[in-house]
Amino acid sequence: MPSGTCFSPDIETMVRNDLDALIDERVRYTVQYAANHSPFYRHWFQENRIDPKEIRVHEDLLGLPLISGKTIREHQPPATTEFEFLSTDWSNVFSIQETSGTSGTPKGFFLTWDDWKRYAEKYCRSFVSQGFTSKDRIVVCASYGMNVGANTMTIAAQRIGMGIIPIGKCSFDSRILRNYRPTSIVGSVFKLLRLVRRLKAEGVKPEDIAIDKLVVGGESFADESRKYLADQWSCPVYNTYGSTEGTMCGECTELNGLHVPEDLVHLDVYDPRMQGFVNDGECGRGVLTTLLPVGGKSGMLLLNYDTEDTTLVISRERCGCGRTHMRIYNPQREAETAWIFGSSLNRIDIEAGVFQSENMEYLTGEYEAFIYEGETPDQVILRISVECLNPDRCDRRLVEDQLTGRFLKNKLGLADQYHDGNLKILLNFTGPGGLELHSLKGRPKRLVDRREPV
């Protein structure tokens, strides 16, 4: 394997047996650290009659109960007087972070400087696996606030030697690209699509800028929208998955799944419907466990934490890039999933239909979908709204055929219900700015179930 293609080659290319042994060593240390330093876990072990010393290998984690974001909220103010997940003295806390709070009260997280270095290590590995070097300059279109993403990328860039343009939003002036000639931008699919449309409207030509790769994070996306984004920018688009909880997985140039930094975070996959963990290749929720190196410290760690994001393990074999760490499928938020006639429907299923290549002559890519009760008790209505570049010139029949055809092809259970008349799909066309999500603040919710709860 060529030198310089890994940030930490000794770890990233470690053979599986040695990697598993390292993971097991860190599992033992982390579990004992949690028992010694975290009020929550000290009580958690006692309540569940678990002897931390009996947790010897990573397979032992499968026998432990799961915790969730709800668990964290129930053990922090205002629910309790103290932050019971805090696992170090306040004097060791370098920063206090919070989640966005989109699914409830923001969860508080406490990071020591060592935590920050481990978080940055994960992004360093992703960046280097995507071809970044000290010659790169990167525009960060992520919030420099209570979330960890933007700051973690900035620390990672410093360690690699890259330059950072810390804008925080994708609405920056195009002179940033012309004058400073950054080589990459980090942002969401839709922010980067809006930006490239604006650049084209301003007459900015590809030769005026130096962008040669994009990094997409912050939300899951369809393969079709990634391909369209790559075509619009004429460069590869790499996927990352990160969270305040410390996931930070990244895609390499092979574009064949996201590498999990297994020495720093352990991931299992759990199916809540089966109430059990599943085998590689089977879909379920990602369950993560923080891993500390022996002698390491942490402001807050998590054991068997249910991310509520669905994924599956693609492979634990050596990747074409030379890395040996497991690869997972692009995680999807379960909060963006609804169930119709016993079949799951994620917003990505809608997005894949919207971004059919024939459609994109007429559409901006912006969309939203709503699920309603039908005219009869056994009928469901799925209304999909798409934003047109020009509603008067949109070939609505073509868009409808392409979108519906792609959707039904990949959702066979729903296709049967559609052909039986139980699922009704309505397509609504709007002009730019006409979607409901444009009038809402915060991250747009593109799939909304408006049926009465059972």
Q: What is the pLDDT of residues 162-209, one digit of tens each?
A: 999 999 888 999 999 999 999 999 999 999 999 999 999 999 988 889
Say what the pLDDT of residue 432 is: 94
- If asked whether residues 300 and 349 sit together in one domain, one would say no
Lowest pLDDT segment from 54-63, 140-149, 191-200, 207-216: 140-149
- Average confidence (pLDDT) over 72-85: 96
Torsion (CA) 329, 330, 332, 333 in degrees, nearest 10 = 120
The last residue of a domain, from among 280, 311, 330: 330
Say what the pLDDT of residue 99 is: 82
Question: Rounded to whole angstroms, how far apart are CA atoms 143 and 69?
Answer: 21
What are the φ and ψ backbone dihedral angles of 76, each rounded to 5 degrees? -145, 160
Q: How far is CA 298 from the centre of its chain?
A: 23
Query: Tokens at residue 288, please?
Result: 């993560």
The last residue of a domain, from among 286, 308, 330: 330
Say what the pLDDT of residue 103 is: 57
Residue 454 lies in a domain: no
Preceding omega of 206 cis (within 30 degrees of 0): no
The pLDDT confidence band at residue 439, using thresholds 50, 70 and 90, is confident
The last residue of a domain, from among 330, 349, 366: 330
Q: Which residue has the tokens 């696992």?
A: 87
- If asked whether residues 39 and 115 sit together in one domain, one would say yes
- Angstrom CA distances, 233 to 142, 184, 243, stand at 19, 11, 26
What are the φ and ψ backbone dihedral angles of 187, each rounded to 5 degrees? -175, -175
pLDDT at 117 over 60: yes
pLDDT at 335 over 90: no
Cβ atoms of residues 305 and 42 within 8 Å:
no
Say what the pLDDT of residue 104 is: 66
Residue 236 lies in a domain: yes
- Average confidence (pLDDT) over 319-344: 93
- Average confidence (pLDDT) over 205-228: 90
CA-nearest of 405, 416, 424, 413 to 353 is 405
- If asked whether residues 271 and 348 sit together in one domain, one would say no
- Domain containing 434: what range? 336-449
Cβ count near 189 (within 10 Å): 24
When comparing pLDDT for 67 and 444, which is higher?
67
Q: Which residue has the tokens 């609505």?
A: 396
pLDDT at 101 over 80: no
Cβ atoms of residues 430 and 385 within 8 Å:
yes
- If asked whether residues 254 and 367 sit together in one domain, one would say no
- Average confidence (pLDDT) over 133-137: 96
- If asked whether residues 1 and 75 sit together in one domain, one would say yes
- Angstrom CA distances, 246 to 104, 147, 151, 186, 233, stand at 19, 11, 13, 18, 30
Cβ atoms of residues 142 and 153 within 8 Å:
yes
Say what the pLDDT of residue 1 is: 34
Cβ atoms of residues 85 and 40 within 8 Å:
yes
CATH of the domain at 18: 3.40.50.12780
- Average confidence (pLDDT) over 311-324: 96
DSSP class of residue 190 equals: H
- Angstrom CA distances, 192 to 141, 169, 199, 216, 347, stand at 9, 10, 10, 9, 19
- If asked whether residues 344 and 311 sit together in one domain, one would say no
CATH of the domain at 396: 3.30.300.30
The pLDDT confidence band at residue 3, using thresholds 50, 70 and 90, is very low
- If asked whether residues 72 and 95 sit together in one domain, one would say yes
Q: How far is CA 40 from the centre of its chain?
A: 27
CA-nearest of 296, 278, 274, 294 to 286 is 278
End-to-end Cα separation, the chain, in angstroms: 56
Say what the pLDDT of residue 48 is: 95
- Average confidence (pLDDT) over 431-438: 92
pTM above 0.85, yes or no: yes
- If asked whether residues 322 and 340 sit together in one domain, one would say no
pLDDT at 102 over 80: no
Question: Rounded to whole angstroms, how far apart are CA atoms 219 and 68?
Answer: 20
Query: Tokens at residue 410, please?
Result: 């990949």
| Count of structural domains, the chain | 2
- If asked whether residues 34 and 159 sit together in one domain, one would say yes
- Average confidence (pLDDT) over 253-264: 96
- If asked whether residues 318 and 350 sit together in one domain, one would say no
Residue 6 lies in a domain: yes
β-strands 237-241, 249-251 pairing: antiparallel
How high does pLDDT run on average in the chain?
93
Residue 51 lies in a domain: yes
Say what the pLDDT of residue 242 is: 84
Question: Rounded to whole angstroms, how far apart are CA atoms 243 and 325?
Answer: 19
Cβ atoms of residues 437 and 357 within 8 Å:
no
- Average confidence (pLDDT) over 106-122: 95
Structure confidence by residue, pLDDT tens digits, 356-407: 999 999 999 999 999 999 999 899 999 999 999 999 999 999 999 999 999 9
Q: Which residue has the tokens 């890259």?
A: 162
377 burial type by CB count under 10 A (0-12 exposed, 13-18 middle, 19+ buried): exposed
Structure confidence by residue, pLDDT tens digits, 401-418: 999 999 999 999 999 999
Residue 296 lies in a domain: yes
Tell me what percent of the residues of the chain surpass a pLDDT of 70. 98
pLDDT at 253 over 90: yes
Residue 272 lies in a domain: yes
- If asked whether residues 294 and 390 sit together in one domain, one would say no
pLDDT at 252 over 60: yes
Say what the pLDDT of residue 2 is: 37
- If asked whether residues 317 and 395 sit together in one domain, one would say no
Query: Tokens at residue 45, please?
Result: 């072990």
Cβ atoms of residues 232 and 190 within 8 Å:
no
pLDDT at 71 over 50: yes
